[in-house]
Structure 1
Amino acid sequence: MTHRLTVLGTGYLGATHAACMAELGFEVLGLDVDPDKIARLRRGESPIYEPGLETLLKKHVATGRLRFTTSYEEVAEFGDVHFVCVGTPQKKGEYAADVSHLDQVVDSLAPHLRRDCLVVGKSTVPVGTAQRLAARLRRLAGGRVDLAWNPEFLREGFAVNDTLHPDRIVLGVAGPRAEQILREVYAPLGEVPIVVTDFPTAELVKTAANAFLATKISFINAMAEVCEATQADVKQLSKALSYDERIGGRFLNPGLGFGGGCLPKDIRAFMARAGELGADQALTFLREVDAINMRRRARMVDLARDMVGGSFRHRVVGVLGAAFKPNSDDIRDSPALDVAATIGQEGGAVTVYDPVALDNARKAQPTLSYAESALSASRDADVVLLLTEWQEFVDLDPHALGRVVNRRNIVDGRNALDATVWREAGWNYRALGRPQ
């Protein structure tokens, strides 16, 4: 049986999932409530920067395999399997996740469901959400509607590859019918480990994975704090640790810390939900994980301030990077943009350059200045800050950059540059967790 798929929510997750499912051979209908976004998607234009995504969108919009709509009625009539891919941001003034968008989707879709179908949640949610939504669907839907929870594990910048070549698939189901349908949907992917479990375990897999990754990043950054106090080199420490197979080198890169739309808000939501369940003591360590991560931003500002004589007033600061990570235009909770804004608030004349995130950065921080190249952003700078490790920045010629700055001061917030090369080119090079 060939299932017809719908994807509700066409942001980072939804647009990627829709395009990749079309690539696997399915007929796919995507839905969003934003008519401007739908108009762009109908032209094959990606709403976000994600390598390879726009190519797939254009390809399958042209074939007719991938379509987009704003109509829940059309989605309900078309789809056999409905993937829910809306965001669950952090609530304002709280740690908890805001799941109101999920509730709105279920409330809007369910009354139009008149035949057997499967609703599949892919959003990251507090444990217990799936069970609640399953009951809501049973109450509101007219046909036989099952629910499954199928968390995503996409890395921004690699989302298309991660969808088409996943390292595992987790199916949270309440019965064999949902499992069978999802096995059929994912069969074109070939041999992929599939973990079949209940709703709460499936929900916890995603939050636990993000909590572990955040902990690993913050661990090496805690070691960077110790290295700064002892004049040790965290880069060499990380390298030595990475050879231990029990530890490994992934996510053990010392620097400015994590940001984006997932790790920060997900670990905070995890703590909030644990508190609601009476298990808050189990996750108290995540408070320190979060605190370590935020301290790296403050330390970056301190290093830059020291380099320009103790105050940013009347100082020119060139900032390389605005996105929270390379190969993305996502500035949500971006350490790079946070550092730039803080320095601007302290009186520095800040100019930012990023290969793809400038439009988003301008909207979020309109008081900063922006440039169209690394050299332009660094012109007459008293200090240059590398805050997002785009390959373009790693490949910079220190001599060429040195000719446009006022002073050859650089702070490498990602430990991405070769310190020896830059120092030999006459730069005063500093980095988080490394000796002067």
Structure 2
Amino acid sequence: MTFIGVGYLGATYAICYAELGYEVLAVDVDPKRVEDLSRGEMPFHEPGLDELLKRNLAAGRLRFTTSYQEAADFGDVHFICVGTPQRLDGMGADLRYVESAVVPLAQNLTRKALIVGKSTVPVGTAEWVERLVEKHADPELGIEVAWSPEFLQEGYAADDVMRPNRIVWAAKTEWATAMLHAAHKGVFDLASTEDREVPVVATDFATAELVKVAANAFLATKISFINAMAEVCEVAGGDVTHLARALGFDPRIGNRFLQSGVGFGGGCLPKDIRAFQARAQELGAGEALRFLHEVDLINLRRRAKVVQLSAELLGRRPGPAGPDLSGARIAVLGATFKSNTDDVRDSPALAVAGMLAEAGADVRVYDPQGAENARKVHPELAYEKSLAEAVTEAELVCVLTDWAEFRNADPVSLGALAGQRKIIDGKNCLDAATWTAAGWTYRGLGRPAVG
């Protein structure tokens, strides 16, 4: 099999499927990325993938190339794993990378094969891909298209590929279904050895395309709901962490993703809910997803709340253009959108760091993995090499990514380094009592002031 596109999605799948025993060829138009991966160098941080990459390169099960001709000659099943970013001129998804992957592949195919979409796309894309294949492939070959969305969580991606909680696929013929089953046999065999079952939902194109965006929309809504409750708690004097705990005991709701904080980010949720709204509008069902606009707004308000809290803790009055933090030294702990990744795409932590700097603060950022990527987005910020360096002389510390290093930090030793013992817990991941006992003034989002 081949995986077209070796960004986060394609590289992860290619490496993990080689680990499952398949012969894998991964394709990308970026020669440097192909060269790096071929040498065993990961272009991004994902726990466990470095070792799997090196092992499967050495075993000969995994190769990388820039040649669509080589991919067409090699593969029986071709997975499309390219990015679908938000369009520059609107909220919809940009499908140019899907087209640029499908067309040269179809043009080079010389035998019957299955093209499987994995990228997150607007509903209706699979049929459009079918038309591209009909236009550019030899019709006598009988090339077929199927769709099977991915459900990767950054930081847990290897397990999500090899031990998925479900597989969704859509195919139009028995042959295509049989090929999809063969392409997932390694997953099923591993589950059998571990005495697990992997549910399979076989459905139509439209439903398969909707599953991923619907899941992301639901997740974003749940996160923004608890952050909306945090806004209410802030004015009513409640504690959103206690509220979330009480809600989580309700089996109809559950406790996962009910942790309030600075909001969601990354390369999926923000752009996917916007693209979902745009596509629904095109289909005449825009009213059904109007609530996602408010979900988005709630999420963005949490970032501004951190800046507002910073001004309050530092005793700064709002100026004509918002809080004036001129000269204040602020340590921002975290640049990635979540822990266990180096991904800074639409990161709330990095966005807040930029907003604090725009307000005049001297911002010092520390992140265990994401500093280099963050520097490309916000080169004007100062990046420190350690937690201690970032906190030294800081008048305020903002914890904006829940890395274990931050959760487990010693408030006493950090207090000896800081200029002032004031902290904003933007992920509600710290023990407030422990930090206040060490002399810190603690503020968590949606929680009463302590200390």
> Normalised by the shorter chain, which TM-score bucket?
over 0.9
Task: Give ranges in structure 1 of 5+ residues lacking alignment.
Answer: none
Alignment of 1:56-71 (within 5 A): 56-71=52-67
Deviates more, 1:85-94 or 1:213-222: 85-94
What is the CA–CA distance in structure 2 between the aligned matches of 1:435 and 1:322, rounded to whole Å?
26
- Which residue does 2:351 correspond to in 1? 338
Displacement after TM superposition at 1:195 (Å): 0.4
Alignment of 1:264-413 (within 5 A): 264-310=270-316, 311-413=324-426
- Following TM superposition, the consecutive aligned residue runs of length 4 or more in structure 1 with deviations greater than 2 angstroms are none
What is the CA–CA distance in structure 2 between the aligned matches of 1:132 and 1:260, rounded to whole Å?
27
- Which residue does 1:50 correspond to in 2? 46
- Which residue does 1:174 correspond to in 2? 172
In the TM superposition, what whole-angstrom CA distance separates every residue of 1:261-290 from its partner, at most 9, and x where no partner exists? Answer: 000000000000000000000000000000
Select the residue among 256, 269, 275 that pairs with 1:263.
269
What is the CA–CA distance in structure 2 between the aligned matches of 1:329 and 1:237, rounded to whole Å?
31
1:383–1:93 Cα change, 3 Å: farther
Does 2:14 align with 1:18? Answer: yes
- Which residue does 1:426 correspond to in 2? 439
- Which residue does 1:183 correspond to in 2? 181
**What is the TM-score with the length of structure 2 in the denominator?**
0.95
Task: Give ranges in structure 2 of 5+ residues lacking alignment.
Answer: 189-196, 317-323
Amino acid at match of 2:174: P
State, as a whole percentage, how many aligned pairs show the same letter: 55
Select the residue among 216, 238, 245 that pairs with 2:244.
238
Select the residue among 21, 27, 33 that pairs with 2:23.
27
Amino acid at match of 2:289: L
- Which residue does 1:221 correspond to in 2? 227
Displacement after TM superposition at 1:188 (Å): 2.0
Does 2:200 align with 1:200? Answer: no
State the number of aligned residues: 432
What is the CA–CA distance in structure 1 between the aligned matches of 2:134 and 2:178, rounded to whole Å?
20
In the TM superposition, what whole-angstrom CA distance separates every residue of 1:328-379 from its partner, at most 9, and x where no partner exists? Answer: 0000000000000011011100000000001001111000000011110111
Amino acid at match of 2:158: V
In the TM superposition, what whole-angstrom CA distance separates every residue of 1:110-168 from its partner, at most 9, and x where no partner exists? Answer: 11011010001100000000011112102211222111110000000000011010000
Task: Look up the SS of the partner of 1:68 in the other structure.
Answer: strand
What is the CA–CA distance in structure 1 between the aligned matches of 2:436 and 2:338, rounded to whole Å?
25
Select the residue among 125, 129, 149 that pairs with 1:129.
125
Displacement after TM superposition at 1:93 (Å): 3.7
Deviates more, 1:258-267 or 1:130-139: 130-139
Amino acid at match of 1:156: E
Task: Look up the SS of the partner of 2:2 in the other structure.
Answer: strand
Deviates more, 1:71-80 or 1:86-95: 86-95
Does 2:114 align with 1:118? Answer: yes
Displacement after TM superposition at 1:106 (Å): 1.0
RMSD of the TM alignment (CA)? 0.7
What is the CA–CA distance in structure 2 between the aligned matches of 1:163 and 1:223, rounded to whole Å?
34
Task: Look up the SS of the partner of 1:19 in the other structure.
Answer: helix
Displacement after TM superposition at 1:390 (Å): 0.2
What is the CA–CA distance in structure 2 between the aligned matches of 1:331 and 1:92, rounded to whole Å?
19
Task: Look up the SS of the partner of 2:201 in the other structure.
Answer: strand
Does 2:156 align with 1:158? Answer: yes
In the TM superposition, what whole-angstrom CA distance separates every residue of 1:384-405 from its partner, at most 9, and x where no partner exists? Answer: 0000000000000001100111
What is the CA–CA distance in structure 2 between the aligned matches of 1:235 and 1:179, rounded to whole Å?
46
What is the CA–CA distance in structure 1 between the aligned matches of 2:84 and 2:112, rounded to whole Å?
27
Select the residue among 76, 82, 89 that pairs with 2:85.
89
